[in-house]
A and B are shown apart, each in its own frame.
Chain A
Amino acid sequence: MASSADVRDMLDLPDRQEPSSRPPPAKRTKTEGKRFDGMNRELQNLLGDNTPAVTVIENRFKAKPNWKLKPTPWVWSKFKNSARSDDLEFSHWVRGTPSEDDYVFAKFNMPVDVPTYTEQEYEKCLADTAWTPRETAYLFDLCREYDLRWLVIQDRYEYQPEEKEPPSIRTLEDLKERYYFCCRKLMDLRREEGTMEWTPRELELYNAMSFNKDKEMARKQYLERLLSRSPAEVAEEERLILEYRKLQESSKKLVQERQDLLHLLESPQTSSSFAQFQSSQGLSQLAANILANDKNRRRKAVPESAEAAAQQPATQKGAPGHGSAHGNAGGHGQQPAHAHDAKASSSTQHNSPAAATTKVSKADLVQSATAKKVAKRVAPGEEHLYGISYHDRLTQGVFLRSSRVSTLKHTVQAKVQSVLAELSISSKLAMPTAKVCERYDALQQQITVLLDAKKQADKLEAEVKVLRAQKGGGQAE
Chain B
Amino acid sequence: MANAAPQPVYGGDEISALVIDPGSSWTRVGFAGEDSPKAVVPTFYGKAGDDVYVGDNELHSSRPGMDVFSPMSDGCVTDWDMTVKIWDYALSKRLYTDPKEHPLLITEPSWNPQKNREKTAEVAFEELGVPAFYLAKEAVCSAFACGKPTALVVDIGSAVASVTPVIDGLVLKKATFHTNFAGDYVNSHLTALFKSKNISLTPHFMISKKLPVEPGQPAQATLKTFEGLADSYIEFERGRILSEFKESVSQVLDMPYSEVVANARPSRPFEFPDGYNLNFGGERFATTEPLFQPQQFSLPDSSVDSNSQGLSELINSSISACDVDARANLVNNVVLIGGTSLLTGCTERINVEMTQAFPGMKIRIQAPGNSSERKYAGWIGGSILASLGTFHQMWIGKKEYEEVGASIVEKRCK
Interface residues of A (CB under 8 A from B): 72, 81, 83-84, 86, 88, 90-97, 99, 103-106, 108-109, 145-146, 149, 151-152, 154-156, 172, 220, 223-224, 226-231, 233-234
Contact = CB atoms under 8 A, between A and B. Distances in A.
B393 A151 contact: no
B392 interface: yes
Contacts of A108: 389-390
A104 B3 contact: no
Contacts of B84: none
7 contacts: A88-B131, A90-B395, A99-B4, A146-B414, A155-B173, A156-B414, A223-B324
A94 B168 CA distance: 31
Contacts of B388: 105
Given A145-B414, A227-B360, 7 more contacts: A95-B3, A99-B1, A104-B13, A109-B393, A146-B414, A149-B168, A227-B327
A106 B173 contact: no
Contacts of A105: 11, 13, 388-390, 392-393
Contacts of A151: 167, 172, 322-323, 325-326
B123 interface: no
B290 interface: no
B175 A155 contact: yes
Nearest to B150: A151
Contacts of B360: 226-229, 234
B113 interface: no
Nearest to B395: A88
A214 to B, nearest CB: 16
A108 B91 CA distance: 33
B4 to A, nearest CB: 6
B196 interface: no
B281 interface: no
Nearest to A107: B390
Q: Which of A104, A155, A226, A229 gathers most chain B CB within 10 Å?
A: A155
B172 A227 contact: no
A83 B11 CA distance: 15
A92 B395 contact: no
Contacts of B328: 227
B167 A90 contact: no
A86 B399 contact: yes
A256 to B, nearest CB: 36
B216 interface: no
B397 A81 contact: no
Contact of B325 (A106, A220, A234): A220
Nearest to B101: A91
B238 to A, nearest CB: 41
A430 B168 CA distance: 93
B100 to A, nearest CB: 13
Contacts of A106: 393
Nearest to B8: A104
B358 interface: yes
A146 B12 CA distance: 24
Contacts of A154: 323
Interface in B1-42: 1, 3-5, 7, 11, 13-16
A292 to B, nearest CB: 55
Contacts of B389: 103-105, 108
A241 to B, nearest CB: 14
A221 B4 CA distance: 55
A234 B11 CA distance: 44
B4 A90 contact: no
B10 to A, nearest CB: 12
A155 B170 CA distance: 10
A152 to B, nearest CB: 5
B323 A172 contact: yes
Contact of B168 (A84, A86, A152): A152
Given A90-B15, A90-B132, A91-B15, A152 B390 contact: no
B168 A92 contact: no
A146 B168 CA distance: 10
Contacts of B170: 146, 149, 152
B359 A92 contact: no
A156 B360 CA distance: 29
Nearest to B132: A88
A96 B359 CA distance: 58
Given A97-B3, A149-B167, A151-B167, A88 B323 contact: no
B325 A83 contact: no
A223 B359 contact: no
Contacts of A233: 359
Contacts of B399: 86, 88
A84 B399 CA distance: 13
A440 to B, nearest CB: 65
B392 A90 contact: yes
Given A86-B399, A91-B16, A234 B323 contact: no
Contacts of B326: 151
Contacts of A231: 356, 359
A90 B16 CA distance: 9
Contacts of A224: 324
Q: Which of B1, B5, B327 gathers most chain A CB within 10 Å?
A: B5
Which A-B residue pairs are the 6 nearest by beta carbons?
A: A96-B3, A105-B389, A88-B397, A83-B393, A231-B359, A90-B15
B98 interface: no
A92 B325 contact: no
Given A92-B15, A149-B168, A227-B358, A155 B174 contact: yes
B261 interface: no
Contacts of B127: none
A109 B394 CA distance: 11
Contacts of A84: 392-393, 397
Contacts of A156: 173, 414
A213 to B, nearest CB: 14
B414 to A, nearest CB: 8
A356 to B, nearest CB: 68
A109 B390 CA distance: 8
Given A93-B14, A99-B4, A81 B325 contact: no
B329 to A, nearest CB: 10
B324 A92 contact: no
Contact of A92 (B13, B131, B167, B414): B13
Contact of B4 (A91, A92, A96, A230): A96
B157 interface: no
Given A90-B103, A151-B167, A152-B170, A230 B359 contact: yes
B193 interface: no
Interface string B330-360: 0000000000000000000000000010111
